[in-house]
Structure 1
Amino acid sequence: MEKLRKHIEEITAITDEDFEAVKPFFTIRKVLKHQYLIQQGDEAKYEYLILSGIFRVFYLDEDGKEHIVQFATENWWMSDYIAYFNQKKANMYVLCMEPGEVLSLTLEGREKLATILPQMEHFFRVKLTNGYMALQARIVSLLSSNPQQRYEEFAELYPDLIQKIPKKYIAEYLGVSRETLSRLYTAP
Protein backbone atom coordinates (compact mmCIF):
# COMPACT_ATOMS: atom_id res chain seq x y z
CA MET A 1 0.00 0.00 0.00
CA GLU A 2 3.02 2.27 0.24
CA LYS A 3 2.97 2.64 -3.58
CA LEU A 4 -0.63 3.82 -3.36
CA ARG A 5 0.27 6.44 -0.80
CA LYS A 6 3.19 7.73 -2.88
CA HIS A 7 0.91 7.81 -5.91
CA ILE A 8 -1.70 9.88 -4.07
CA GLU A 9 0.95 12.20 -2.62
CA GLU A 10 2.21 13.04 -6.11
CA ILE A 11 -0.99 15.07 -6.36
CA THR A 12 -2.18 15.84 -2.84
CA ALA A 13 -0.98 15.55 0.75
CA ILE A 14 -2.62 12.92 2.93
CA THR A 15 -2.27 12.34 6.66
CA ASP A 16 -1.55 8.95 8.20
CA GLU A 17 -5.08 8.92 9.62
CA ASP A 18 -6.68 9.71 6.26
CA PHE A 19 -4.56 7.13 4.47
CA GLU A 20 -5.73 4.51 6.97
CA ALA A 21 -9.28 5.44 5.91
CA VAL A 22 -8.34 5.07 2.21
CA LYS A 23 -6.71 1.63 2.40
CA PRO A 24 -9.84 -0.50 2.99
CA PHE A 25 -11.36 0.71 -0.29
CA PHE A 26 -8.59 -0.96 -2.30
CA THR A 27 -8.00 -4.66 -2.86
CA ILE A 28 -4.64 -5.96 -4.03
CA ARG A 29 -4.63 -8.63 -6.70
CA LYS A 30 -1.83 -10.59 -8.35
CA VAL A 31 -2.32 -11.05 -12.08
CA LEU A 32 -0.73 -13.69 -14.31
CA LYS A 33 0.49 -13.19 -17.85
CA HIS A 34 -2.41 -13.69 -20.32
CA GLN A 35 -4.98 -13.27 -17.52
CA TYR A 36 -7.97 -11.03 -18.18
CA LEU A 37 -9.16 -8.50 -15.63
CA ILE A 38 -12.10 -7.56 -17.83
CA GLN A 39 -13.64 -9.28 -20.84
CA GLN A 40 -16.39 -8.11 -23.15
CA GLY A 41 -19.75 -8.83 -21.53
CA ASP A 42 -18.38 -8.75 -17.97
CA GLU A 43 -19.61 -6.25 -15.43
CA ALA A 44 -16.90 -3.61 -15.17
CA LYS A 45 -16.92 -3.50 -11.39
CA TYR A 46 -13.42 -2.14 -10.89
CA GLU A 47 -10.98 0.50 -11.87
CA TYR A 48 -7.39 -0.70 -11.50
CA LEU A 49 -4.22 1.03 -10.38
CA ILE A 50 -1.22 -0.88 -11.65
CA LEU A 51 1.48 -1.58 -9.09
CA SER A 52 3.56 -3.69 -11.48
CA GLY A 53 3.26 -5.39 -14.86
CA ILE A 54 2.08 -4.32 -18.31
CA PHE A 55 -1.53 -4.45 -19.46
CA ARG A 56 -3.38 -3.64 -22.63
CA VAL A 57 -6.91 -2.38 -22.98
CA PHE A 58 -8.54 -3.23 -26.29
CA TYR A 59 -11.74 -4.06 -28.06
CA LEU A 60 -12.55 -6.49 -30.85
CA ASP A 61 -14.50 -5.27 -33.85
CA GLU A 62 -17.16 -7.32 -35.65
CA ASP A 63 -14.46 -9.04 -37.72
CA GLY A 64 -12.51 -10.04 -34.61
CA LYS A 65 -9.76 -7.48 -35.24
CA GLU A 66 -8.14 -6.13 -32.09
CA HIS A 67 -7.96 -2.36 -31.56
CA ILE A 68 -5.69 -1.29 -28.71
CA VAL A 69 -6.97 1.70 -26.78
CA GLN A 70 -4.31 1.82 -24.08
CA PHE A 71 -1.19 0.20 -22.74
CA ALA A 72 -0.87 0.57 -19.00
CA THR A 73 2.05 0.08 -16.66
CA GLU A 74 3.08 1.06 -13.13
CA ASN A 75 1.07 3.97 -11.62
CA TRP A 76 -1.41 4.01 -14.50
CA TRP A 77 -5.14 3.52 -14.07
CA MET A 78 -7.23 1.39 -16.39
CA SER A 79 -10.69 -0.04 -16.90
CA ASP A 80 -13.45 -0.08 -19.46
CA TYR A 81 -14.43 3.37 -18.28
CA ILE A 82 -17.68 3.66 -20.20
CA ALA A 83 -18.87 0.45 -18.57
CA TYR A 84 -17.33 1.28 -15.18
CA PHE A 85 -18.86 4.74 -14.79
CA ASN A 86 -22.23 3.66 -16.23
CA GLN A 87 -22.22 0.32 -14.38
CA LYS A 88 -22.87 -1.53 -17.65
CA LYS A 89 -21.44 -4.60 -19.34
CA ALA A 90 -17.93 -4.18 -20.73
CA ASN A 91 -17.15 -3.75 -24.41
CA MET A 92 -13.41 -3.74 -23.75
CA TYR A 93 -10.90 -6.32 -22.65
CA VAL A 94 -8.13 -5.71 -20.12
CA LEU A 95 -5.36 -8.28 -20.48
CA CYS A 96 -2.15 -8.76 -18.53
CA MET A 97 0.90 -8.90 -20.83
CA GLU A 98 3.48 -9.33 -18.08
CA PRO A 99 2.83 -10.70 -14.57
CA GLY A 100 1.90 -7.97 -12.17
CA GLU A 101 -0.12 -6.62 -9.29
CA VAL A 102 -3.01 -4.21 -9.28
CA LEU A 103 -5.15 -2.43 -6.75
CA SER A 104 -8.86 -2.57 -7.54
CA LEU A 105 -11.41 0.06 -6.59
CA THR A 106 -15.18 -0.10 -7.06
CA LEU A 107 -17.13 2.89 -8.32
CA GLU A 108 -19.07 2.93 -5.04
CA GLY A 109 -15.75 3.02 -3.15
CA ARG A 110 -14.40 5.76 -5.37
CA GLU A 111 -17.50 7.89 -4.84
CA LYS A 112 -17.47 7.33 -1.08
CA LEU A 113 -13.76 8.22 -0.84
CA ALA A 114 -14.38 11.41 -2.83
CA THR A 115 -17.21 12.31 -0.45
CA ILE A 116 -15.48 11.64 2.86
CA LEU A 117 -12.02 12.95 1.94
CA PRO A 118 -11.86 16.14 -0.16
CA GLN A 119 -8.23 15.49 -1.06
CA MET A 120 -9.28 12.19 -2.66
CA GLU A 121 -11.93 14.00 -4.71
CA HIS A 122 -9.16 16.33 -5.86
CA PHE A 123 -6.87 13.36 -6.59
CA PHE A 124 -9.50 11.56 -8.69
CA ARG A 125 -10.38 14.76 -10.56
CA VAL A 126 -6.74 15.41 -11.45
CA LYS A 127 -6.22 11.78 -12.55
CA LEU A 128 -9.39 11.85 -14.66
CA THR A 129 -8.43 15.18 -16.23
CA ASN A 130 -4.93 13.93 -17.06
CA GLY A 131 -6.36 10.77 -18.57
CA TYR A 132 -8.81 12.75 -20.68
CA MET A 133 -6.01 15.02 -21.96
CA ALA A 134 -3.85 12.00 -22.85
CA LEU A 135 -6.74 10.38 -24.70
CA GLN A 136 -7.46 13.58 -26.62
CA ALA A 137 -3.79 13.90 -27.56
CA ARG A 138 -3.81 10.29 -28.79
CA ILE A 139 -6.88 10.92 -30.95
CA VAL A 140 -5.36 14.07 -32.46
CA SER A 141 -2.16 12.14 -33.19
CA LEU A 142 -4.08 9.35 -34.91
CA LEU A 143 -6.01 11.87 -37.00
CA SER A 144 -3.21 14.22 -37.94
CA SER A 145 0.12 12.37 -37.83
CA ASN A 146 1.67 9.97 -40.29
CA PRO A 147 2.89 6.54 -39.11
CA GLN A 148 6.48 7.76 -38.69
CA GLN A 149 5.37 10.65 -36.48
CA ARG A 150 3.09 8.40 -34.40
CA TYR A 151 5.92 5.94 -33.87
CA GLU A 152 8.34 8.69 -32.86
CA GLU A 153 5.79 10.16 -30.41
CA PHE A 154 5.20 6.73 -28.88
CA ALA A 155 8.94 6.04 -28.60
CA GLU A 156 9.51 9.43 -26.96
CA LEU A 157 6.59 9.15 -24.52
CA TYR A 158 7.11 5.47 -23.63
CA PRO A 159 10.74 4.46 -24.26
CA ASP A 160 10.54 1.59 -21.76
CA LEU A 161 7.46 0.10 -23.45
CA ILE A 162 9.15 -0.01 -26.87
CA GLN A 163 11.52 -2.65 -25.47
CA LYS A 164 8.91 -4.63 -23.50
CA ILE A 165 5.85 -4.83 -25.76
CA PRO A 166 5.82 -7.12 -28.81
CA LYS A 167 6.00 -5.11 -32.03
CA LYS A 168 2.70 -6.62 -33.19
CA TYR A 169 0.87 -4.79 -30.41
CA ILE A 170 2.74 -1.53 -30.91
CA ALA A 171 1.72 -1.66 -34.58
CA GLU A 172 -1.93 -2.21 -33.60
CA TYR A 173 -1.78 0.67 -31.13
CA LEU A 174 -0.31 2.99 -33.77
CA GLY A 175 -2.79 1.89 -36.42
CA VAL A 176 -0.17 0.51 -38.81
CA SER A 177 0.70 -2.92 -40.16
CA ARG A 178 3.47 -4.98 -38.60
CA GLU A 179 5.46 -4.55 -41.81
CA THR A 180 5.13 -0.75 -41.68
CA LEU A 181 6.28 -0.76 -38.06
CA SER A 182 9.30 -2.89 -38.99
CA ARG A 183 10.31 -0.28 -41.58
CA LEU A 184 9.80 2.55 -39.05
CA TYR A 185 11.66 0.67 -36.34
CA THR A 186 14.73 0.16 -38.50
CA ALA A 187 14.64 3.60 -40.12
CA PRO A 188 17.67 5.84 -39.38
Structure 2
Amino acid sequence: MNDILKTQFRKIIDITDDEFDYILSHFSYKKFKKHQFLVQDGQNVDFDYFVLSGCVKSYYSDENGKIHILLFGVQDWWITDYEAYYYQKKAIVNIDCLEDTEVLCLSNDNREKLCSEFHQIESFFRKKTNRRNVALQNRILSLLSSSAKERYEKFLQEYPMLVQKLPKHILASYLGVTRETLSRLYATK
Protein backbone atom coordinates (compact mmCIF):
# COMPACT_ATOMS: atom_id res chain seq x y z
CA MET A 1 0.00 0.00 0.00
CA ASN A 2 2.81 2.41 0.78
CA ASP A 3 3.96 1.95 -2.82
CA ILE A 4 0.99 4.08 -3.85
CA LEU A 5 2.46 7.06 -1.98
CA LYS A 6 5.99 6.32 -3.18
CA THR A 7 4.77 6.21 -6.78
CA GLN A 8 3.00 9.54 -6.36
CA PHE A 9 6.13 11.18 -4.93
CA ARG A 10 8.28 9.74 -7.71
CA LYS A 11 5.98 11.11 -10.41
CA ILE A 12 6.95 14.60 -9.25
CA ILE A 13 10.30 14.40 -7.41
CA ASP A 14 13.36 12.17 -7.18
CA ILE A 15 13.71 10.39 -3.85
CA THR A 16 15.65 7.33 -2.81
CA ASP A 17 14.11 4.38 -1.00
CA ASP A 18 15.83 5.48 2.22
CA GLU A 19 14.46 9.01 1.87
CA PHE A 20 11.01 7.63 1.22
CA ASP A 21 11.22 5.41 4.31
CA TYR A 22 12.16 8.45 6.39
CA ILE A 23 9.31 10.49 4.89
CA LEU A 24 6.87 7.63 5.46
CA SER A 25 7.88 7.49 9.13
CA HIS A 26 6.18 10.90 9.53
CA PHE A 27 2.81 9.49 8.47
CA SER A 28 0.39 7.39 10.47
CA TYR A 29 -1.93 4.76 9.03
CA LYS A 30 -5.66 4.64 9.75
CA LYS A 31 -8.62 2.57 8.63
CA PHE A 32 -12.13 3.97 8.55
CA LYS A 33 -15.42 2.16 8.07
CA LYS A 34 -18.14 3.28 5.68
CA HIS A 35 -19.92 6.37 7.10
CA GLN A 36 -17.09 7.23 9.54
CA PHE A 37 -15.75 10.80 9.46
CA LEU A 38 -12.18 11.76 8.70
CA VAL A 39 -13.10 15.40 9.33
CA GLN A 40 -16.21 16.74 11.02
CA ASP A 41 -17.63 20.27 10.98
CA GLY A 42 -16.69 22.17 14.15
CA GLN A 43 -13.79 19.94 15.13
CA ASN A 44 -10.03 20.39 14.92
CA VAL A 45 -8.33 19.07 11.80
CA ASP A 46 -5.09 17.34 12.64
CA PHE A 47 -4.24 15.66 9.35
CA ASP A 48 -4.05 15.83 5.60
CA TYR A 49 -5.17 12.42 4.36
CA PHE A 50 -3.63 10.46 1.51
CA VAL A 51 -6.17 7.89 0.34
CA LEU A 52 -4.75 4.39 -0.08
CA SER A 53 -8.08 2.69 -0.77
CA GLY A 54 -11.76 3.47 -0.57
CA CYS A 55 -13.73 6.59 -1.37
CA VAL A 56 -14.60 9.68 0.69
CA LYS A 57 -16.64 12.79 0.06
CA SER A 58 -16.00 16.33 1.26
CA TYR A 59 -19.11 18.41 1.76
CA TYR A 60 -20.53 21.52 3.35
CA SER A 61 -23.97 21.71 5.00
CA ASP A 62 -25.59 25.13 4.71
CA GLU A 63 -27.88 26.69 7.34
CA ASN A 64 -30.91 25.10 5.64
CA GLY A 65 -29.36 21.64 5.91
CA LYS A 66 -28.68 21.37 2.19
CA ILE A 67 -25.54 19.39 1.46
CA HIS A 68 -23.06 20.76 -1.07
CA ILE A 69 -20.48 18.19 -2.15
CA LEU A 70 -17.14 19.82 -2.84
CA LEU A 71 -15.10 16.87 -3.99
CA PHE A 72 -14.37 13.20 -3.67
CA GLY A 73 -11.20 11.45 -2.63
CA VAL A 74 -10.20 8.06 -3.99
CA GLN A 75 -6.96 6.10 -4.14
CA ASP A 76 -3.92 8.33 -4.71
CA TRP A 77 -5.72 11.56 -3.73
CA TRP A 78 -5.09 13.96 -0.85
CA ILE A 79 -8.02 15.41 1.09
CA THR A 80 -8.76 17.47 4.20
CA ASP A 81 -10.33 20.78 5.23
CA TYR A 82 -7.31 22.82 4.20
CA GLU A 83 -8.25 26.07 5.91
CA ALA A 84 -8.69 24.28 9.22
CA TYR A 85 -5.57 22.16 8.67
CA TYR A 86 -3.21 25.01 7.79
CA TYR A 87 -4.56 27.68 10.15
CA GLN A 88 -5.63 25.57 13.14
CA LYS A 89 -9.27 26.58 12.78
CA LYS A 90 -12.34 24.46 13.35
CA ALA A 91 -13.47 22.50 10.31
CA ILE A 92 -16.27 23.93 8.20
CA VAL A 93 -16.58 20.87 5.98
CA ASN A 94 -17.21 17.22 6.66
CA ILE A 95 -15.30 14.40 5.07
CA ASP A 96 -16.87 10.98 5.45
CA CYS A 97 -16.34 7.56 3.98
CA LEU A 98 -18.58 6.31 1.20
CA GLU A 99 -16.94 2.91 1.67
CA ASP A 100 -14.33 1.36 3.94
CA THR A 101 -11.23 3.50 3.51
CA GLU A 102 -7.54 3.32 4.35
CA VAL A 103 -5.45 6.48 4.59
CA LEU A 104 -2.02 7.75 5.50
CA CYS A 105 -2.24 10.78 7.79
CA LEU A 106 0.23 13.66 7.78
CA SER A 107 0.11 16.30 10.50
CA ASN A 108 0.88 19.89 9.57
CA ASP A 109 3.87 19.86 11.96
CA ASN A 110 5.32 16.81 10.20
CA ARG A 111 4.65 18.36 6.78
CA GLU A 112 6.52 21.50 7.83
CA LYS A 113 9.36 19.42 9.28
CA LEU A 114 9.72 17.41 6.07
CA CYS A 115 9.54 20.54 3.92
CA SER A 116 12.30 22.20 5.93
CA GLU A 117 14.50 19.08 5.74
CA PHE A 118 13.92 18.22 2.06
CA HIS A 119 13.64 20.89 -0.58
CA GLN A 120 12.16 18.29 -2.95
CA ILE A 121 9.30 17.57 -0.50
CA GLU A 122 8.51 21.26 -0.35
CA SER A 123 8.51 21.25 -4.15
CA PHE A 124 6.22 18.20 -4.19
CA PHE A 125 3.62 19.83 -1.93
CA ARG A 126 3.81 23.12 -3.84
CA LYS A 127 3.14 21.32 -7.12
CA LYS A 128 0.29 19.27 -5.58
CA THR A 129 -1.23 22.49 -4.20
CA ASN A 130 -0.97 24.15 -7.60
CA ARG A 131 -2.79 21.22 -9.22
CA ARG A 132 -5.48 21.27 -6.54
CA ASN A 133 -5.98 25.02 -7.04
CA VAL A 134 -6.42 24.56 -10.79
CA ALA A 135 -8.86 21.67 -10.28
CA LEU A 136 -10.93 23.68 -7.80
CA GLN A 137 -10.97 26.71 -10.10
CA ASN A 138 -12.14 24.52 -12.99
CA ARG A 139 -14.84 22.99 -10.77
CA ILE A 140 -16.14 26.42 -9.76
CA LEU A 141 -16.12 27.65 -13.37
CA SER A 142 -17.95 24.51 -14.48
CA LEU A 143 -20.64 25.03 -11.84
CA LEU A 144 -21.02 28.66 -12.88
CA SER A 145 -21.03 28.29 -16.65
CA SER A 146 -21.80 24.73 -17.75
CA SER A 147 -25.15 23.07 -18.24
CA ALA A 148 -26.11 20.06 -16.13
CA LYS A 149 -25.53 17.82 -19.15
CA GLU A 150 -22.06 19.28 -19.75
CA ARG A 151 -21.10 18.83 -16.06
CA TYR A 152 -22.37 15.24 -16.13
CA GLU A 153 -20.48 14.40 -19.34
CA LYS A 154 -17.29 15.98 -18.01
CA PHE A 155 -17.62 13.97 -14.79
CA LEU A 156 -18.10 10.76 -16.80
CA GLN A 157 -15.03 11.57 -18.86
CA GLU A 158 -12.77 12.55 -15.95
CA TYR A 159 -13.93 10.08 -13.28
CA PRO A 160 -15.47 7.01 -14.95
CA MET A 161 -14.55 4.81 -11.96
CA LEU A 162 -16.51 7.03 -9.58
CA VAL A 163 -19.79 6.83 -11.46
CA GLN A 164 -20.13 3.16 -10.46
CA LYS A 165 -19.21 3.85 -6.80
CA LEU A 166 -21.48 6.79 -6.09
CA PRO A 167 -25.15 6.64 -5.15
CA LYS A 168 -27.20 8.77 -7.55
CA HIS A 169 -28.25 11.30 -4.89
CA ILE A 170 -24.58 11.98 -4.04
CA LEU A 171 -23.58 12.39 -7.68
CA ALA A 172 -26.57 14.70 -8.20
CA SER A 173 -25.47 16.84 -5.24
CA TYR A 174 -21.91 17.04 -6.59
CA LEU A 175 -23.19 18.10 -10.02
CA GLY A 176 -25.57 20.65 -8.51
CA VAL A 177 -28.69 19.02 -9.94
CA THR A 178 -31.73 17.23 -8.60
CA ARG A 179 -32.01 13.45 -8.62
CA GLU A 180 -34.70 13.76 -11.27
CA THR A 181 -32.41 15.75 -13.55
CA LEU A 182 -29.65 13.21 -13.01
CA SER A 183 -32.06 10.39 -13.90
CA ARG A 184 -32.88 12.19 -17.17
CA LEU A 185 -29.16 12.55 -17.89
CA TYR A 186 -28.64 8.82 -17.21
CA ALA A 187 -31.50 8.05 -19.62
CA THR A 188 -29.80 9.98 -22.45
CA LYS A 189 -26.60 7.92 -22.19
2:24 alignment counterpart? 23
Q: Where do 1:95-174 residues align within 5 Å?
A: 95-174=96-175
1:3 alignment counterpart? 4
1:126-179 per-residue CA deviation (whole Å, 9 max, x = no partner) reads 111000100000001001101000000011000010111001001000100000
Distance 1:67 1:31 in 2: 22
1:47-104 per-residue CA deviation (whole Å, 9 max, x = no partner) reads 0000000000001100111110011100000001111111110011010001120000
Task: State the shift of 1:17 in Å.
Answer: 2.3
Cα RMSD for the two superposed structures: 0.8
**Count, aligned residues:** 188
Give ranges in structure 2 of 5+ residues lacking alignment. Answer: none
Runs of 4+ in structure 1 deviating by more than 6 angstroms, as ranges, are none
Helix, strand or coil for the counterpart of 1:10?
A: helix
Contact 1:60 1:66 in 2 (8 A): yes
Helix, strand or coil for the counterpart of 1:138?
A: helix
Task: State the shift of 1:7 in Å.
Answer: 1.4
Task: State the shift of 1:20 in Å.
Answer: 2.3
TM-score (normalised: structure 2): 0.97
Helix, strand or coil for the counterpart of 2:12?
A: coil
TM-score (normalised: structure 1): 0.98
Distance 1:160 1:2 in 2: 21
2:18 alignment partner AA? E
Distance 1:52 1:174 in 2: 23
1:102-135 per-residue CA deviation (whole Å, 9 max, x = no partner) reads 0000111111111101111111011110001000
State yes or no: 1:179 paired with 2:180. Answer: yes
